[in-house]
Amino acid sequence: MASVQPYMYEPESDPESEKDRDGPDPPSQTRLEQAVSEWCTCGNCAVMPTEVENVCCREIRKVVTRMKQVPEPIVCMVDHPGLEPNCLNPYTLQNLHNIYRFDYGPLRRRTEEERFQHLAYRSFVSWCWGFLGRGIRVVIPSCVVRRIRQEFPDLAGQYVGFRPPLD
Ligand SMILES: [Zn+2]
Ligand SMILES: [Zn+2]
């Protein structure tokens, strides 16, 4: 079981944005009991293990803002041209690792792929939300979590192609 929990991510930063909590309204009916099509309108979300993670990109204001900042309309955040360079490019994450390590110390993750996943989530959050205060938690949409996991699969021992070392 992977220890990476995207929704637990606490971005760092300026206390000004502490009140700027973002995310969907609490669901009236639990999403774990519903079909994905009941809440996903982008077509790429899937059922996630915990209630709070079952959120579509089109429900999150900060993500929708980014989705509007593209030359051609897109239906889902995974089609955003900024996703690859910000969250999936291993060299971007290699650099991000240096930045975070300098500020917060080394990442303690079991596998290299989990560390890449974690950095990809952090990059996504800083890209969409900016730097937020400690204790603020945001939910990364299901479709984006799936895309990041597809890029950095946590299947032990599976060959995933070349990755630059993080350290
Ligand atoms: Zn969706
Ligand atoms: Zn989506």
> What is the 13 CA–ligand 2 centroid distance (Å)?
27
> What is the 101 CA–ligand 1 centroid distance (Å)?
32
> What is the 80 CA–ligand 1 centroid distance (Å)?
14
pLDDT digits (tens, 9 = 90+) for 74-133: 999 999 999 999 999 999 999 999 988 887 778 776 788 889 998 999 999 999 998 655
Distance CA 23, CA 35 (A): 20
> What is the 103 CA–ligand 2 centroid distance (Å)?
31
> What is the 4 CA–ligand 2 centroid distance (Å)?
20
pLDDT digits (tens, 9 = 90+) for 5-56: 555 454 444 433 434 455 566 556 799 999 999 999 999 999 999 999 999 9
To the nearest 10 degrees (0 to 180), the angle between helices 112-129 and 61-68 is 80
Relative to the alpha carbon of 55, which ligand is closest? 1
Is this structure's pTM higher than 0.85? Answer: no
pLDDT of residue 104: 77
> What is the 52 CA–ligand 2 centroid distance (Å)?
16
Distance CA 133, CA 153 (A): 29
Give Cα separations from 52 to 71, 141, 155 (angstroms).
31, 10, 24
